[in-house]
Amino acid sequence: MSSWSISITDSFLNSSLTLPNKIRDKLPDVIEKLKNNPKPTNGHSVKIKGIDLWRIYVTHRYRLFYKYDNQWVKLLKIVERDKDTYKSENLMSIAEEESLCVIKIDEDESLPTQSSFLTSEQLEHWEIPKEYHERLLSIDQEDDLLELPIEPKWIEIIIDCLPSREKSIEEELDLIDKKAEYVLEESDDIRKYLQGEIKNFYLKLSEEQEKILNQKNDYPLLIKGGPGTGKSILAYYQTKKLLKDGYKKILFTTINPSLIEYYIKPLKALIGDDLQAKGVTLKTVDELASEIYRRSYGERYKLATEEICLFCLKSVIHEITIIPSIKNQIINLGLNYLLDEILIVIESRGIESCDEYLQISRFGLGYKPEKQIMEQIWEIYVQWKKILRKSGYITTEHIRQKALEIINKKNTSVFNAIVIDEAQDLSPVAIEILMKLAISKNKFYLTADTEQSLKKLPFAWDFLQDENEYKGEIRTLNRSFRNTEQIGKAYPSIISSVETASFSNLRGEKPKIILTDDLLNQAKLIKVFFKQSSKKFKLPIYTGVILSPERQYGEFLARQLSFYGLASEYQDKLNHNSSNSCIRVLSLESVKGLEFPFVVVVGLTEGLLPNYINNSHRDEQKELLKQQRQLFYIACSRAMRSLLVFGSKNQPSSFLEPLRENDYWQIEVL
């Protein structure tokens, strides 16, 4: 049995496509040699002088570059040897060695020569969809390729299949080495992949993640960690481990349908295509609660929008009889505060009486009204709920409450284990529903980062344990893999309370803040930013996104960029099934749990971000500012390779002030 495990990169998989078919068939044997022994003593490998890099013959013409450490061999890329392959200083010794050998070209290795940038034969051999051929054949340089409005994965395949024209192979491999790793379980799996029998490979865990996964967990477990530390990846692996341990009914859940959709691909790569047949249910808590509620109450009520909730609340305040001085104080709190008080304090915790409301802990919340005010808020809540119900409306939290009542009454525990990602944005009632659906609380796993909570929900491990009378354990992930070192150092400074994680070893530019009030120039600068980032990291330009605090601003910017020749589209939420052939402009709230190579954050203008709500109480205003600062933090932490922030020159956001005081950001005033 071999003692080495194999990990692979996207570049290795893509470069495998360049091989003639008969050479592809030789790859499993080459990989098997490395599994048995990746060191030079195997008689096939050569170390690159001065750096931790190795290469092994595939054939006379092709070389496989790799690294090895801690019983893992990482396959980076297959390179066709030509006069430029060993042009860097560290590779000269190999060049001298191989110059003594005649490169024998087998008939199996021959591919058509080309005079143009791309040929039809290449595109067919690399299995690029025919619908893109005409556009691809019309370009004559790599920069044009990166900007083509076609699905990015095909561009990335072509980039990896083409010989590097601007970087040495050493520089290119250094970039590849910092990309994600996937696990190749069997040597023959590469043949199956190239023949279409395997669609995806699953991500390799870090040592830190492996340690947490392999610990014995006979208790509820919370995985904490900042952005990019791999909490979701660990949740995927935890699901696989539960299946391996014999658990037949597992729920994998998170905060919204968009993230559920995002999780399907990695879970299928790890577990198999038919998740349901394997015993894994992938649903949000609200999908589950709605199913339970509808079975008992039917479709009689419609879900109330925020606008409907505010309209009814305003009507109740005007109609209800309250002492004038108290009524004025309530009006001064503002409708948005009152609605938050109802939905987040009362309904999200399942509070059933005024006495309970007066005594409830306000963990994670700001301003607490005086007793008289709270008593009147409760009366307003009772009337507000009555009007909604008699008008055919119901809130999300009320559906959750009713579902919880049904579960408690019928003792409906259906899952052997439950895995929750992004738990910090679930209400106490939602968490309790999930706990009650679990047959055993000992198989209850959560991932969370309270600094990424967009709501004033009382998520804290101690709070949850006290409320639900059980004890669990906490494990923390400390290393971030998402961002460049420069971005990883910069975005935590947005929130002073954030502990700095250890960073990836990928280097890039410091993120930049540009202060300008010229909207036309801003659009031009955004276009330049995406072009430069795309070229620097050799990634398709349309993998970038723009994040806006306001829909109107986002739609305006998307139109501007499209007019300037950079196809852009505003989306209320990320469409994972779209062709991704344009720059997506998204709301700040819609990108929780996601990541993008290039990110532009706009709207850092006082009054826009932060957006002050008129007439709200001073203490509540502080809480609102804290939430919006977290929103800015989350937006910036989505950036993997390049980050650009735009603020106003004349009315810059107060969120930018502390960023001027450190050396992690570039500041430019136009």
How many residues are given for the chain? 670
Residue 460 Cα distances to 451, 492, 499, 603, angstroms: 11, 21, 17, 31
How open is the CA angle 234-236-237, to the nearest 5 degrees? 65
Confidence category of residue 448, pLDDT binned at 50, 70, 90: confident
Please give the annotated binding residues for ATP, written as ranges: 225-232
Residue 517 Cα distances to 239, 562, 622, 668, angstroms: 49, 20, 27, 13
Q: Where are the beta strands (DSSP E) in 458-608?
A: 473-477, 512-515, 545-548, 568-571, 583-587, 596-604
Q: List phi, psi (to 5°) of 463.
A: -60, -45
* CA neighbor of 74 nearest in space, from 234, 197, 206, 272: 206
Q: What's residue 5's pLDDT?
A: 95
Q: What is the pLDDT of residues 351-386, one digit of tens each?
A: 999 999 998 876 555 677 899 999 999 999 999 999
Residue type, 80: E
Q: What is the pLDDT of residues 220-268, one digit of tens each?
A: 888 988 888 999 999 999 999 999 999 989 999 999 998 999 899 899 9
Give the Cα separation of 587 and 635 in Å (integer).
Answer: 9
Do the beta carbons of residue 113 and residue 145 sit within 8 Å?
A: no
Q: What's residue 501's pLDDT?
A: 62
Tokens linked to 432: 């309790």
Q: What is the pLDDT of residues 73-107, one digit of tens each?
A: 999 999 887 645 555 544 544 444 443 333 344 54
Tokens linked to 438: 């679990």
Entry pTM? 0.87
Q: List phi, psi (to 5°) of 473.
A: -125, 160
Tokens linked to 360: 């409830």
Give the Cα separation of 174 and 585 in Å (integer).
Answer: 31
Domain definitions of the chain by residue range: 5-194, 207-294+398-477, 305-394, 485-669
Q: What's residue 511's pLDDT?
A: 97
Please say whether the dihedral angle defined by the alpha carbons of residues 509, 522, 654 and 478, taken in this order, is positive or negative: negative
Mean pLDDT of 193-216: 90
- The answer to whether residue 549 scores a pLDDT higher than 50 is yes
Q: What's residue 52's pLDDT?
A: 84
Give the Cα separation of 558 and 413 in Å (integer).
Answer: 47
- The answer to whether residue 275 scores a pLDDT higher than 80 is yes
Identical fold for domains 5-194 and 207-294+398-477, yes or no, is no
Q: Determine which helix (DSSP H) or strand (DSSP E) holds 303, and give its type and residue range.
A: strand 302-303
Do the beta carbons of residue 270 and residue 236 sit within 8 Å?
A: yes
Q: What is the pLDDT of residues 32-53, one digit of tens each?
A: 999 999 988 877 888 887 788 9
- Percent of the chain surpassing pLDDT 90: 54
Q: What is the pLDDT of residues 619-639, one digit of tens each?
A: 667 778 888 999 999 999 999
Q: What is the pLDDT of residues 392-404, one digit of tens each?
A: 999 999 999 999 9
- The answer to whether residue 507 scores a pLDDT higher than 60 is yes
Q: What's residue 100's pLDDT?
A: 36
Q: List phi, psi (to 5°) of 508.
A: -155, -160
Q: What's residue 97's pLDDT?
A: 43
Q: How many CA atoms lie within 13 A of 171 on its CB side?
A: 13
- At the topology level, CATH places domain 5-194 in YaeB-like fold (3.30.2310)
Give the Cα separation of 20 and 125 in Å (integer).
Answer: 8
| CATH architecture of the domain with range 485-669 | 3-Layer(aba) Sandwich (3.40)
Distance of CA 660 to the CA centre of its chain: 28
Give the Cα separation of 76 and 53 in Å (integer).
Answer: 10
Please give the annotated binding residues, written as ranges: 225-232
Range 207-294+398-477 has CATH code 3.40.50.300: yes
